Amino acid sequence: MELALRGLELKALDPYLAGWRLRVVPALGHLPVRMITNGALDRTVYRWIADEYSRSTVKNTIAVLLPPRTGTTS
């Protein structure tokens, strides 16, 4: 988990960890990391959208799964 959170500001950790615990682990936690494909992530995101999570919630939840990008703005 430390590797996934590296480079994040301390104030951003709580929302990312909440998204991890509340949405990522229940949806994808049964899969080995190597089995989490783009398709599996797409299906999970579509399910969250169908469950009417806000755009911001979905964006912040998947951000913890993506490699950190430097020099970009949201």
Return d(Cα 16, Cα 30) in angstroms, integer.
19
Location of structure tokens 């996934």 = 4
Q: Is the pTM of this model over 0.85?
A: no
Return d(Cα 59, Cα 41) in angstroms, integer.
12
Residue 37 corresponds to which tokens in the numbers above?
């494909």
Instruction: Report helix angle 55-63 to 38-50, nearest 10.
Output: 150
> What is the pLDDT at residue 8?
72
10-43 pLDDT, tens digit per residue, is 787 888 888 889 999 999 999 998 888 889 999 9
Return d(Cα 3, Cα 1) in angstroms, integer.
5
Residue 55 corresponds to which tokens in the numbers above?
């755009």
